[in-house]
Structure 1
Amino acid sequence: MVARKFVVQHNDSLFDVDYDTEDGFEVLKFQLFSLTSIPPDEQKIFGGENLLVKDDSDLNSVTDKLRLVSTDEVHDNAFAQSDDKLRLLSIEVDEGSSGTVAKDDNAFAQSDEELARMLQAEEEALFFQQFRASEDRGQFEQRIRPYVSQVLMYEDPVRQAAARKTVPVDELEEKAVVSLAKEGNFKPSKIEQDHVFLLQLLFWFKQTFRWVNAPSCDGCGSETINCGMGAPLPSEIQFGGSRVELYRCNNCLRITRFPRYNDPLKIVETRRGRCGEWANCFTLYCRAFGYESRLILDFTDHLWTECFSNLLGRWMHLDPCEGVYDKPLLYEKGWNKKLNYVVAIAKDGVHDVTKRYTRKWHEVLSRRNITTEPVVSAVLSDITKDCRKGFTPQLLAVLEDRDRSEVDELERGLPSQNDGSISLPGRQSGAKEWRIARSELGSNENNSLSCSECPIRICVDEHVTSILNAFCSLLSQFVENDIPKSKIVDILEMVKRGLLDLKKASFRSRSGSISLESITLKFVQQIIPPLDVLLAALSLKSEKLEKCERVNFCLAGDPVKTSIALPVALDALDIVIDNLRNSDNFGKGSLSLPLLKPNRISSGLVLASGEELPFGIVTSAFDGIHTSKWEEPNGAKGGWIIYKVKDNQMLDLEVYELMSANDAPERDPMNWVVEGSDDGGSSWYVLDKQTSQMFEKRFQRKTFKIHSVGRLSNAFRFRFLAVRDVQATSRLQIGSIDLFARIS
């Protein structure tokens, strides 16, 4: 451990920062964020002589005097200053300071040199292409023409209606608005709702569609092995199944047919296939819900979908086989694919979009040998003109303007650098042997979509605290009225049944009831007030009792607030019921943690060392839901979370709880340190240290008491030092983290 004290200049202010170099560069950035409100991803930190401090800089030897600027300031200066703009950001430092630092000017020079090399390589590839590639357009055109008629099927109202009927629209709409609410957006625009509904449609499709390596036997359901191709039947040809694979059962020897249907109407029915069927069918689903969509044909044997996102103002990549969106470098960077031609095919034209999917255009050009680039452009232009015959001049003008914008976007994107903080996985769909044979496993050891430079996220979890407080009130009322433990469990089970029924109802018009038939009038009168508190925490309101046998309730306001709170309440009920059943004695002495969970800290800012995208992000550890979790793909030997209290409140941490996640015990944290800070993260002190902790089961909660009293903090840091089995995994995962402040 090397303790450093930096003096950091930002604008006209100086800040003293105490820092442990073992904590990593991101922690230093977060400390500066707490002092200056400049988010880590917008910070540039400079030493002397235009020396930019970077992630791989040696922080043990960097000068003590630093200067901080935001990227916004850099951008503003870029417009206002000349070539010496970066020199204005430098500061004088002690002579003799050393370290692994890089000059920003050199970085720009290297970038320019790299661009020059790429342009030269592109010219060379184009030069040699004229000798390798044919001027004949036939082969290239024949690869594309069949798909032009294919995509016209997506415009058929009958096919669209058949697709829509299979989709749980209300469920996906609820998930969409809840996903926005978890980011603090409870009043999304129509464009925002459309965007996230499309993502939920993608996730639903990925979960419900079935990948076929070899079909199960039609007779006994056993595994089969390929035994060749068969002649298509008329019923198969009717839906484009001109290719039929045959499979022999390993058990009963029966032959099972696997027709490769091209008609998405039939694929909606069968709900199975490989990438061709997946992309074909998913693109129909996108068109069925009104999204401008196109089928993407990769000549190296893959297909996926693009939709135009009005939110992003551009075409967005969606791969239904992988459940991945807006990650166009997935194939080149993740799968290690050697791309050549990637063509977008829609009802109104075809476009070469290869440049969206590569940052190695000069290498791709060397593999484009079917025909020359002028012929490619001519073929695509001619097909597009055919598709647009009969279009009005106004529509043609709109489409041509969009075409120009896309070309500009693709050209601008080529020189941009890969985002090194995003780790893209190898191919996930298909049998491993098949993926190995295709060299599509990639080199990502974690085989997951993850981020090592996470954004600062807001915990939208005030409802979790409200629900836990409501249960405190309810249980306290039970104790004060001497209601037996067995009767309390019965009452809570009835509440749970009522909330489960409510959860099944349409989220925009929810209403329900809780049966109180087995409870005496005296008990009913006692529990109604605290029950109303619980309903209010769920954005529900109770209605008039029906002969004291039933409590009716309905939405009290925004239905999204009920949607986001319901799973939290149901999980909390399970915990309370389980705790009651396992308690030997229940009385006033029981009204404390872990049974009661008062004064939970909420609504803070949180930053992590890494996270799994999109479902394992760090705020998942604070959302109060059992099935979610924070997952750090590289955290087995060390990961961290920093939690900054809302409005810089100074709180005395009394207790914290950790819950194991749903699977993989080897990823459970075993050794960790909890630290506090009274200056927003500039300096830290130890609050608790744990070693050799074991979670015996999944979803198990462990409660840890902070023994120091009166140490007020406005930030907390969890440093997870090791997981249960570092030899078996590279990952760290936690189901939930709950912080409870001491009640003054």
Structure 2
Amino acid sequence: MDADEALARALQAEEHQLAFASRQPAADGHQEFATRLQAAVQTVLQYEDQLLQALALSVVPLEELQREAAEQVKLIEAMGEQPPLAAEDALAQGLLAWFKADFFKWVNNPACQLCGGSNTQGTGVAGPTAEEAAGGAGRTEVYRCVQCGSITRFPRYNDPAKLLETRSGRCGEWANCFTLCCRAVGLDARYVLDWTDHVWTEYYSHALRRWVHLDPCEVAYDKPLLYEVGWGKPLSYVLGFSKDEVVDVTRRYTKQWGQLRLRRTQADEGWLRQYLQQLSGRLQAELPPDLRAVLRERLEREVQQLAQQQAQPVSADEAAMPGRQTGSAAWRAVRGETGTSTGTCAVPALLTGTRFRLAKDDHQNAHEPRAVCGGAVRASGENAPSETAVQAFDGRADTKWLDFGGANGGLTWLEYRLPNMALPAVVDEYALTSANDSPERDPCNWTLEGWADGENWTALDGGRHQMKRQCSR
């Protein structure tokens, strides 16, 4: 076992010891379970502080995100893509991408505070200083710099205001700060707590009339089976907390409810249902009757949706979901979240795919006047925010598009479409360049298709058993 893996195991054991109750009911009934529920309620209520939301809005580029969301809505409409995209949903997607790409930073081990070196090794966990405690830190990880020997402290802050300042952490910090940002921009958001050590966010889509999964760490939008199918997580309890209610949303995140129920040993199911109703009742006590009626109707619909979801098979894009991407390889391996894919996915390639986005490739004309440009792109899947379908058409060899469906042995597709008002384009040359890593994921078989009538695809060219890193046709 190397030093990184030993440290990862030590930190994982420490986190479970401090943050998680025993898997058996507490001797006095359900006190430990109830205490944890109450703490999560307090977490989400602080997001409603107007000063805190104003602080979040001071760092969120809301006007830019709203403008981009409006452009995205118009693009989907122009392309005739169904279903239509609502501005609220486009804003949620844009906020998610911005948070991951431009705002928050993942911390495996902190850089040395003295020399700035990245080679620091964990030496243990300490109690927080008064200053760290003021930022909501309940514990502090301690690291020693291999280069200069100095000590660096990594407080695990829980105060979202402090996180807006540090802009770094692991999944707890990410979900805490991101859920605040969702509330600040006006999304009806939940803080979702997974009893097997992960947290994320949901928001209510008024256009879709349902709650939508958001994971800022993985920049995952509406992929609730990511954890069970992709990561291989043996879930037990998944609860959603908002300013208005506390809901058991476990069924949204599993296709194995019968097996999962056997792992729910911390609380009696009848007690849990009753206690969640009590918590929700307290949160709604001051609300007007008409709003309580709306929440009740929405909850009833959600219960029906979750029940119906169990009868639906795992789709192709769900089956192709990857293991966890954030965190060091050793840390993910210790947690058992590297994925369960065997690379032999045989699911049909009728994938839902991404929505259309502008290719932003007009600059291609500067060095190649014949280049087709000005279109929109979508794909069977992508690894957002930096390895998306758009990157396949930017003309750069140092960026790439990655679809884990194809990487896991399945079929994948990439579509480029010109606006309806554009003249038909004749393609007489194209080039494919494989990425700079993981040669086992390089495309070796492909088919180039085109259409002119908007309905019927015609095969134009293709390649089989191609192993070169670049191919021009």
Structure 1 pair 191/184, CA: closer, same or farther in 2 (3 Å)? Answer: closer
Q: Which residue is 1:216 aligned to?
A: 111
Q: Which residue is 1:721 aligned to?
A: 464
Q: Which residue is 2:91 aligned to?
A: 197
User: Distance between the aligned counterparts of 1:333 and 1:665, measured in 2?
Assistant: 22
TM-score, normalised on structure 2?
A: 0.79
Q: Which residue is 2:326 aligned to?
A: 429
In the TM superposition, residue 173 of structure 1 has moved relative to its aligned partner by 3.3
Residue 328 in structure 1 maps to residue 224 in structure 2: yes
User: Distance between the aligned counterparts of 1:136 and 1:366, measured in 2?
Assistant: 19
Return the match for 2:188 from 288, 292, 298: 292
The DSSP-based 3-state class of the residue aligned with 1:719 is: strand
Residue 441 in structure 1 maps to residue 338 in structure 2: yes
In the TM superposition, residue 719 of structure 1 has moved relative to its aligned partner by 2.2
TM-score, normalised on structure 1?
A: 0.52
Return the match for 2:57 from 164, 180, 185: 164
In the TM superposition, residue 240 of structure 1 has moved relative to its aligned partner by 1.1
Structure 1 pair 456/257, CA: closer, same or farther in 2 (3 Å)? Answer: closer
Return the match for 1:373 from 269, 282, 289: 269
In the TM superposition, residue 257 of structure 1 has moved relative to its aligned partner by 1.4
Residue 360 in structure 1 maps to residue 256 in structure 2: yes
User: What is the one-letter code of the residue matched to 1:452?
Assistant: A
In the TM superposition, residue 371 of structure 1 has moved relative to its aligned partner by 1.8
In the TM superposition, residue 164 of structure 1 has moved relative to its aligned partner by 1.4
User: Distance between the aligned counterparts of 1:306 and 1:458, measured in 2?
Assistant: 20
User: Distance between the aligned counterparts of 1:161 and 1:670, measured in 2?
Assistant: 51
Q: Do 2:108 and 2:328's aligned partners in 1 also have CA atoms closer than 8 Å?
A: yes
Q: Structure 1 vs Structure 2: percent identity of aligned residues?
A: 36
User: Distance between the aligned counterparts of 2:228 and 2:442, measured in 1?
Assistant: 33
In the TM superposition, residue 321 of structure 1 has moved relative to its aligned partner by 0.9
User: Distance between the aligned counterparts of 1:458 and 1:370, measured in 2?
Assistant: 41
User: Distance between the aligned counterparts of 1:196 and 1:375, measured in 2?
Assistant: 39
Q: Do 1:639 and 1:720's aligned partners in 2 also have CA atoms closer than 8 Å?
A: no
Superposed counterparts of 1:583-662, under 5 Å: 596-597=369-370, 611-612=381-382, 631=402, 634=406, 655-658=428-431, 660=433
Return the match for 2:312 from 402, 413, 416: 416
Structure 1 pair 445/173, CA: closer, same or farther in 2 (3 Å)? Answer: farther
User: Distance between the aligned counterparts of 1:671 and 1:416, measured in 2?
Assistant: 32
Q: Do 1:451 and 1:613's aligned partners in 2 also have CA atoms closer than 8 Å?
A: no
The DSSP-based 3-state class of the residue aligned with 2:132 is: helix
Superposed counterparts of 1:338-737, under 5 Å: 338-422=234-318, 423-444=320-341, 452-454=349-351, 567-573=360-366, 575-576=367-368, 596-597=369-370, 611-612=381-382, 631=402, 634=406, 655-658=428-431, 660=433, 663-664=436-437, 666=439, 715-724=458-467
Q: Do 1:293 and 1:307's aligned partners in 2 also have CA atoms closer than 8 Å?
A: yes
In the TM superposition, residue 177 of structure 1 has moved relative to its aligned partner by 3.8
Q: Which residue is 2:10 aligned to?
A: none
User: Distance between the aligned counterparts of 1:214 and 1:678, measured in 2?
Assistant: 53
Structure 1 pair 185/311, CA: closer, same or farther in 2 (3 Å)? Answer: farther
Query: Structure 1 unaligned runs (5+)?
Result: 1-131, 461-563, 577-595, 683-713, 727-732, 739-744
User: Distance between the aligned counterparts of 1:642 and 1:145, measured in 2?
Assistant: 48
User: Distance between the aligned counterparts of 1:148 and 1:456, measured in 2?
Assistant: 35
Structure 1 pair 662/332, CA: closer, same or farther in 2 (3 Å)? Answer: closer
The DSSP-based 3-state class of the residue aligned with 2:430 is: strand
Q: Which residue is 1:256 aligned to?
A: 152
Q: Do 1:637 and 1:723's aligned partners in 2 also have CA atoms closer than 8 Å?
A: no
In the TM superposition, residue 388 of structure 1 has moved relative to its aligned partner by 1.7
In the TM superposition, residue 242 of structure 1 has moved relative to its aligned partner by 2.4
Return the match for 1:274 from 170, 175, 188: 170
Q: Do 1:455 and 1:607's aligned partners in 2 also have CA atoms closer than 8 Å?
A: no
User: What is the one-letter code of the residue matched to 1:352?
Assistant: D
Structure 1 pair 568/372, CA: closer, same or farther in 2 (3 Å)? Answer: same
Q: Which residue is 2:29 aligned to?
A: 136
In the TM superposition, residue 678 of structure 1 has moved relative to its aligned partner by 11
Q: Which residue is 2:100 aligned to?
A: 206
User: Distance between the aligned counterparts of 2:342 and 2:207, measured in 1?
Assistant: 33
In the TM superposition, residue 375 of structure 1 has moved relative to its aligned partner by 0.8
Structure 1 pair 602/454, CA: closer, same or farther in 2 (3 Å)? Answer: farther
Q: Which residue is 1:494 aligned to?
A: none
Q: Do 1:670 and 1:722's aligned partners in 2 also have CA atoms closer than 8 Å?
A: yes
User: Distance between the aligned counterparts of 1:409 and 1:145, measured in 2?
Assistant: 26
User: Distance between the aligned counterparts of 2:452 and 2:206, measured in 1?
Assistant: 44
User: Distance between the aligned counterparts of 2:222 and 2:354, measured in 1?
Assistant: 20
Q: Do 2:362 and 2:373's aligned partners in 1 also have CA atoms closer than 8 Å?
A: no
Q: Do 2:353 and 2:381's aligned partners in 1 also have CA atoms closer than 8 Å?
A: no
User: What is the one-letter code of the residue matched to 1:334?
Assistant: G
Structure 1 pair 668/231, CA: closer, same or farther in 2 (3 Å)? Answer: closer
Residue 176 in structure 1 maps to residue 69 in structure 2: yes
User: What is the one-letter code of the residue matched to 2:461?
Assistant: F
Relative to its length, the structure with more strand (as a share) is 1
In the TM superposition, residue 457 of structure 1 has moved relative to its aligned partner by 9.4
User: What is the one-letter code of the residue matched to 1:213?
Assistant: N
In the TM superposition, residue 159 of structure 1 has moved relative to its aligned partner by 1.2
- Equivalent residues, number: 439
In the TM superposition, residue 454 of structure 1 has moved relative to its aligned partner by 3.5
Structure 1 pair 392/716, CA: closer, same or farther in 2 (3 Å)? Answer: same
Q: Which residue is 1:317 aligned to?
A: 213
Q: Do 1:294 and 1:346's aligned partners in 2 also have CA atoms closer than 8 Å?
A: yes
Structure 1 pair 219/662, CA: closer, same or farther in 2 (3 Å)? Answer: same
Structure 1 pair 164/372, CA: closer, same or farther in 2 (3 Å)? Answer: same
In the TM superposition, residue 619 of structure 1 has moved relative to its aligned partner by 8.1
Q: Which residue is 1:51 aligned to?
A: none
Structure 1 pair 271/446, CA: closer, same or farther in 2 (3 Å)? Answer: farther
The DSSP-based 3-state class of the residue aligned with 1:316 is: strand
The DSSP-based 3-state class of the residue aligned with 1:612 is: coil
User: What is the one-letter code of the residue matched to 1:158?
Assistant: L
In the TM superposition, residue 673 of structure 1 has moved relative to its aligned partner by 7.3
User: Distance between the aligned counterparts of 2:214 and 2:354, measured in 1?
Assistant: 25
Structure 1 pair 363/618, CA: closer, same or farther in 2 (3 Å)? Answer: same
Q: Do 1:674 and 1:717's aligned partners in 2 also have CA atoms closer than 8 Å?
A: yes
Structure 1 pair 627/401, CA: closer, same or farther in 2 (3 Å)? Answer: farther
User: Distance between the aligned counterparts of 1:324 and 1:265, measured in 2?
Assistant: 24
User: What is the one-letter code of the residue matched to 2:428?
Assistant: V
User: Distance between the aligned counterparts of 2:75 and 2:397, measured in 1?
Assistant: 15
Residue 146 in structure 1 maps to residue 39 in structure 2: yes
In the TM superposition, residue 265 of structure 1 has moved relative to its aligned partner by 0.4
The DSSP-based 3-state class of the residue aligned with 1:240 is: coil
Q: Which has the higher contact order (CA 8 A, sep 6+)?
A: 2
Residues 211-250 of structure 1: CA deviation (Å, up to 9, x unaligned): 1122111111222222222232222222211212221222
User: What is the one-letter code of the residue matched to 1:428?
Assistant: Q
Query: Structure 2 unaligned runs (5+)?
Result: 1-23
User: What is the one-letter code of the residue matched to 1:365?
Assistant: R
User: What is the one-letter code of the residue matched to 1:658?
Assistant: A
Q: Do 1:643 and 1:716's aligned partners in 2 also have CA atoms closer than 8 Å?
A: no
User: Distance between the aligned counterparts of 1:409 and 1:213, measured in 2?
Assistant: 37
In the TM superposition, residue 601 of structure 1 has moved relative to its aligned partner by 9.8
In the TM superposition, residue 190 of structure 1 has moved relative to its aligned partner by 11
Structure 1 pair 677/305, CA: closer, same or farther in 2 (3 Å)? Answer: closer
The DSSP-based 3-state class of the residue aligned with 1:417 is: coil
